[in-house]
Amino acid sequence: MAKIVIAQQFCGPPDSGNGGYVCGVLARDIDGPATAVLRARVPLDADLELTLSDDAAVMTDAQGTLIGRSDAAELELEVPPPPTLEAARRAMASYIAHEQRVHPICFTCGVEREEGDGLRVFAGQVEGAPVGHVACVWTPHAAFADADGLTPTEVVWAALDCPGVFAWLVKEGRHGALLGTMTGEVIRRPKVGEPCIVAAWPLIREGRKETAGVALFTAEGELLARGRQVWIMMGPPRQPAAAALDAVSA
């Protein structure tokens, strides 16, 4: 059992840990693909306990409340070919949160976070792709490097977090959703300063559950990481946002 703290820097909502980052913390000591499930709000700047075994990890708070769990898993996910680096860069211009206030301080997607503080993953509709296929360029910052100059597993998972829900926001319009489950694998951790392409696409909606695929590529299209997410809708979808409509018609 280890004591850990999820710092305020790694928030999603202002009062809870970033879902992808926390899932990555749960999965980082598991070899191969892992499924992480979040069961409760993730306290920030508070002592948490992480219990590890060969193929599982469990996170609880100081009172013993289950926060999340990860287990070794199989990942069945067909990953579409990535857009080019330039296409992914152009897609960033249609990122919904450039025009609307959508989690502005989120570690992954917040527009108010500075380089080296947040990841600034701004995924927008890819020109000529099916509606909801979003992408952006993300270059890992030196502030997140480990001793070998590589991006930690939990930061890679964080980079893949929000694009999955933005795929659904573009496809179905603005609505609230929380990350419930993420199954992912990191094939190769990117180097600091290595330009990467983040891509996401909607898979299926079942009731209040929206499933998305996410992936990370090198600029040349090498697959670095992939994941399958289940988002839980917090309410009925609204009409498509103006930014999303503009992106689709571009």
Q: List residues bridging with 213 in a β-sheet.
A: 201, 228
Residue 120 scores a pLDDT above 70: yes
Q: How confident is the model at residue 236 (pLDDT cuts 50, 70, 90)?
A: low
Q: How confident is the model at residue 53 (pLDDT cuts 50, 70, 90)?
A: confident
- Would you state the pLDDT for residue 114? 97
Range with the lowest mean pLDDT among 28-32, 95-99, 125-129, 240-244?
240-244
- Would you state the pLDDT for residue 175? 78
- Would you state the pLDDT for residue 239? 44
What is the 3-state composition of the chain as percent helix, strand, coil, each rounded to the nearest 5?
A: 20, 35, 45
The answer to whether residues 150 and 192 touch, using CB atoms and an 8 Å cutoff, is: yes
CA 126 to CA 243: how far, in whole Å? 13
Residue 129 scores a pLDDT above 50: yes
Residue 244 scores a pLDDT above 90: no
CA 184 to CA 206: how far, in whole Å? 21
CA 34 to CA 77: how far, in whole Å? 13
Strands ordered across the beta sheet of 134-138: 2-5, 47-53, 56-61, 66-72, 34-38, 177-186, 223-233, 209-218, 196-206, 134-138, 124-125
The stretch 233-244 carries a mean pLDDT of 52
Range with the lowest mean pLDDT among 114-118, 157-161, 231-235?
231-235
- Would you state the pLDDT for residue 242? 36
Q: What one-character-per-residue DSSP string does 76-128 give?
A: --PPPPPPPHHHHHHHGGG-GGGTS-S-TT-TTT-TTSPBTTB-----EEPTT
Q: How many Cα atoms are found within 13 Å in the side-chain-facing hemisphere of 250?
A: 22
Short-list 134, 140, 98, 86, CA closest to 118: 140
- Would you state the pLDDT for residue 13? 92
pTM above 0.85, yes or no: yes
Mean confidence (pLDDT) of the chain: 92
- Would you state the pLDDT for residue 246? 35
Q: List residues bridging with 224 in a β-sheet.
A: none
pLDDT tens, 179-225?
999 999 999 999 999 999 999 999 999 999 999 999 999 999 999 99
The answer to whether residues 26 and 70 touch, using CB atoms and an 8 Å cutoff, is: yes
136: tokens are 């952006």
Torsion of CA 158, 40, 35, 52, to 10 degrees: 100
- Would you state the pLDDT for residue 176? 81
- Would you state the pLDDT for residue 166? 96
Range with the lowest mean pLDDT among 187-196, 222-231, 237-246?
237-246
Domains of the chain (ranges plus CATH)? 2-72 (3.10.129.10), 85-249 (3.10.129.10)
CA 108 to CA 244: how far, in whole Å? 20
- Would you state the pLDDT for residue 198? 98
The stretch 15-44 carries a mean pLDDT of 96
> Of how many residues is the chain composed?
250
